[in-house]
């Protein structure tokens, strides 16, 4: 992929690379919106009455390291370290994990010992995770070929064919991990207030090919995708048309939308209406709906630590708003954001999740 087509620049973080904010980003302007959303959420929480019984999160993403910030890297974790991390998650009610992606081509990393991608920097992360998960009786969904194809606005036919081929080369090796419950499609996308016919066609093609690839190997394996929710509710009708186009005949098992509260792309006041729309879309395509609950709060873009554990009160409201529409709740990186590793706020969130079990 040429640098002109790469939507995110790459930069170093410890001994690995990460995606950075777009070079054209105006952080000051972006933070005005973020701070406004965070302030509005605080006011919403004050006036929200929680149900008597609070909802629990049962699934968490894990990874070698976050793709675009430091977090709590597990790239060099041995089996015993993974077992400790999974035991911590189990103590907070987690019974399954989703490994974000088997590799990221742009950042030159593969997270299993690959022959097909041996030209990348390979580490046996998936090998260690899956061994630990079997010992801890944790269900694992493996992320496949990591790609930013879903964020790009244009994509040639030749690029699309190459993309499909790379997903297959990766999956052909991931099939060696026999104990997984399913696979996760890591190429995120979203509706951003306009229809994009080329992008809709591309994502439909990628979804259909990925699901067919997995199901033709083993029809019992479940396939999950986690798109972002980044639109205003007044655009719901067009949002639904966008997603109907992408999901047509995709046969995806689970759609797990990011609620985007942590990244300040949606507000708490919008969640109920947004999730009604998501439920309508997924039901039309016979797809199970989960919620991907963001348990962090963005406080900057450019600082080394720009995502922080959010307040438990906000998480409780997020879960209460989406609970009527979903069959399961997942979250991003509970082993960092709800952990003393992220400071006193992380310890507070850790205590909250433990109190629900």
- Residue 1 within any structural domain of the chain: no
Task: pLDDT band for 25, please (50, 70, 90 cuts).
Answer: confident
Q: Model pTM?
A: 0.94
10 Å Cβ neighbour count for 280?
15
Q: Which domain holds residue 155?
A: 16-355
- Residue 98 within any structural domain of the chain: yes
Q: Smallest Cα–Cα separation from 349: which of 299, 271, 293?
A: 293
- Residue 22 within any structural domain of the chain: yes
Q: How many domains does the chain have?
A: 1
Contact 356, 58 (CB under 8 A): no
Task: pLDDT band for 5, please (50, 70, 90 cuts).
Answer: low
Higher pLDDT, 231 or 40: 40
- Which residues are CB-neighbours of 191 under 8 A, at least 6 positions away? 230, 231, 235, 238, 239, 242, 243
pLDDT at 6: 61
- Residue 4 within any structural domain of the chain: no
Q: What does pLDDT average to over the chain?
A: 93
What CATH number does the domain containing 250 carry? 3.20.20.80
Q: For 141-199, how does the pLDDT look when each residue is reduced to its tens digit (9 = 90+)?
A: 999 999 888 777 778 889 889 999 999 999 999 999 988 999 999 988 989 888 989 99
pLDDT at 118: 97
pLDDT at 345: 98
> How many angstroms separate the CA atoms of 187 and 100, rounded?
10
Average pLDDT over residues 324-339: 96
Nearest 5°: the CA angle 110, 59, 88 is 85
């Amino acid at each position: 992929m040429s640098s002109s087509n790469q939507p995110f620049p790459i930069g170093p973080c410890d001994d690995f690379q990460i995606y950075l904010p777009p070079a054209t980003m105006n952080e000051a302007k972006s933070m005005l919106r973020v701070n406004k959303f965070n302030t509005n959420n605080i006011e919403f929480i004050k006036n929200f009455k929680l149900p008597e019984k609070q909802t629990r999160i049962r699934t968490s993403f894990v990874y070698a390291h976050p793709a675009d910030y430091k977090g709590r890297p597990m790239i060099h974790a041995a089996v015993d370290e993974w077992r400790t991390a999974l035991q911590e998650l189990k103590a907070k009610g987690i019974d399954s994990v989703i490994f974000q992606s088997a590799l990221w081509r742009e950042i030159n990393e593969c997270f299993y010992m690959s022959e097909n991608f041996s030209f990348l920097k390979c580490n046996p992360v998936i090998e260690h995770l899956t061994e630990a998960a079997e010992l801890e009786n944790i269900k694992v969904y493996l992320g496949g070929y990591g790609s930013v194809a879903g964020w790009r606005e244009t994509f040639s036919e030749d690029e699309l064919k190459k993309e499909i081929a790379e997903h297959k080369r990766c999956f052909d090796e991931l099939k060696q991990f026999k104990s997984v419950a399913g696979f996760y499609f890591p190429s995120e996308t979203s509706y951003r207030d306009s229809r994009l016919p080329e992008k809709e066609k591309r994502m439909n093609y990628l979804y259909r090919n990925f699901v067919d690839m997995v199901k033709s190997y083993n029809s019992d394996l479940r396939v999950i995708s986690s798109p972002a929710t980044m639109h205003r509710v007044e655009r719901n009708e067009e949002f639904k048309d966008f997603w109907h186009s992408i999901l047509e005949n995709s046969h995806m098992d689970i759609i797990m939308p990011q609620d985007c509260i942590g990244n300040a792309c949606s507000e708490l006041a919008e969640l109920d209406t947004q999730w009604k729309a998501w439920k309508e879309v997924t039901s039309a395509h016979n797809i199970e709906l989960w919620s991907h609950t963001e348990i962090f709060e963005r406080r900057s873009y450019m600082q080394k630590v720009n995502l922080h554990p959010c307040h438990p009160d906000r998480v409780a409201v997020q879960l209460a708003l989406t609970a009527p529409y979903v069959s399961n709740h997942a979250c991003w990186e509970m082993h960092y954001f709800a952990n003393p590793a992220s400071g006193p706020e992380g310890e507070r969130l850790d205590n909250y999740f433990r109190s629900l079990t």
